[in-house]
Structures are given as structure tokens and as C-alpha cells.
Amino acid sequence: MKSNIQFILSMIIFGTIGLVVRYIDLSSSETALLSSSIGCLFLSFVFWVMRKSIPWKLVKANAFILLLSGIALGGNWIFLYQSYDHTTITNATLAYYFAPVFVILLSPIILKEQVTIKKIVCIGVAILGMLLIVGNGISTSGKDDLLGIFFGLVAAVFYAALMLINKFIQNMDRLEITIIQLGTTALLLLPYVYFTEGYGILDVSRSSIPFIILLGIVNTGIGFWLFFSGMEKLRGQSIAMLSYVDPFVAILISGFIVQEQMTLIQMLGGVLLLGSTFVSETNFFRISSKSTKMK
């Protein structure tokens, strides 16, 4: 029960990211730099309190993979934050949740896994759902909305890459991996921000500072801590099902707090997208059919 609560809390925290980012008047890359830096420092403190130490021999052995994962995490955040700037929280979240589809498409190439008929059908339904969201977004909101959805899809590609790359990291604890990835992302973003934006971070408005701290400590640090703490004792199917608390919270925030409008066609697209990825990641229908036969 404790693991369920920890994981659900992490999903609720992740679901509020779009709202928090709206109140930070920095570029997406600057925001990503601050969130990764603060999150890394917070988790390092947690690691120290737990009296653990980073296994540097294992870090060295996995150095190249960790570098790639840091690049993927940085790209993921930059484009996700840009997506929130150009479209609604709901559209950005739904585009971002296209990541499982990219994982399914890339798994046969990278992980040499077979794609089942069920997953092929789910991919088709997810693509249909995304087309409904994008098509209706263009007709009702215009090019800026489309650009936001595009950034969300690019963020999903980076997140899918991160999930696949992480499968090649060997003999390291999830929390250790996260600290190294956040630190690597922050180091990579330092020169990137300098050459693209300059260090406007130093001139950030006072009103943004509480939200930057919130994003770094709560949404990144505490969110990841609860995420990995809860994940340790949960089954894969439970993780897949509980992961949908994140988009559910984001959509609720979009509708009731930010009061962003969503058409019926976009709602249908969202149901198809989230429903198909849910079915592809779980054995829900197989379990249901078995229980029916037993009766």
C-alpha cells in the first residue's frame, strides 16, 4: 500500500509540471537547466542522508550510456517546456504521452523485441487519436497550437529514447542513475544555455523564483524520489496503470484551474491515445477474459 501511495503521489506531482512552468518567465532550456541542477542537488542530499555513495566504478563502466541518457533527458525537458508555452497543458500532455508508441516502434530495432498484433492495433488507434487532436487543434487554435503539439511529440521522442537507453545501464540503482542523469543534463545544458540564451537566469523576476524552487525540489527532486521508491515494490502492470494518474491530473488542471478549452473531437482523440497506450502496456483484457472463462 505504501508503494502505491508513493507512486501515485509522484504521478500527481508530475501532472502539475505544466502549471508550474507557466509561472516561470525563462526560456525552456534555462528552465531545464535550473530544474535539473536543483533536482540533482536535492537527490544528492537525500542520497547522503541515506548514507549511500555513488559507485564511481559502475559510473565509469556505463559512462557513454549515461551521457546519452543525459542528452535525452535534457532534450525531453527543453521540448516539453516549449510545448507548454505554445499550446494547452492538455494538448502538450497528450502529445507527450505518445512516447510509449515510439518505444513500441523502436523496440524491434534497438532491443530486438517482437511487436505483437495487439501492439500494432494499439499503435494505429494511438495515431488516429493524435490525428484527431492535431487536426482539431489546427482548425480551432491555429499554427501556434500545432507548434506546441509538435514540440510535445519531439519531447516524447526524447523520452522514448531515454527509456530505451536506460535498459542498457547495468548494475546501478535507479536513484543513482537519476542523480547522474540530472547532473549530466545540467552540465550539458550549461554551455548550451550560454551560447543560445546567455545567462538571463541571473535576471529572473522575483515572482518566478518560488516556482523555480518548486519545480526543482518538488516536481523534480521529490517527484523522482517518490517515483523510484514506489516503483521498487510494484509490479510492471501496476506501474503501467498508475502512470495514467499523471495525464489525468494534468487534464484536470488544464480544464478546472487554467480553464483551457478542449473540444469533443480532441477529447475523443485523447481517449483513443491514452486508452490504446494503456492497453498496449498491460494485460488487462487477457486477465478479464481469463476471469470470464473461470466463471
CA angle 57, 62, 64 (to 5 degrees): 130
**Residues 211-222, mean pLDDT to the nearest whole number:** 96
pLDDT of residue 289: 37
pLDDT digits (tens, 9 = 90+) for 178-212: 999 999 999 999 999 988 877 777 788 889 999 99
Q: What pLDDT is attached to residue 30? A: 92
Residue 9 grid coordinates: 503521489
Stretch among 150-164, 179-193, 244-258, 278-292 having the lowest mean pLDDT = 278-292
pLDDT for residue 293: 37
How far is residue 294's CA from residue 132's CA, in Å, rounded to a whole number?
39
Nearest Cα residue to 184 out of 68, 101, 267, 61: 68
Report yes or no: 216 and 31 within 8 Å, Cβ to Cβ: no
For the chain, the domains span: 2-16+24-294
Separation between Cα atoms, residue 271 and residue 69, nearest integer Å: 30
> Looking at residue 146, what is its pLDDT?
86
Nearest to 159 by CA among 72, 228, 246: 72
In the numeric block, the cell 546519452 is attached to: 68
Orientation angle between helical segments 174-196 and 63-86, nearest 10 degrees: 60
**Contact in structure between 142 and 56 (CB atoms under 8 Å):** no
Is residue 286 pLDDT above 80, yes or no?
A: no
256, 88 contact by CB (below 8 A): no
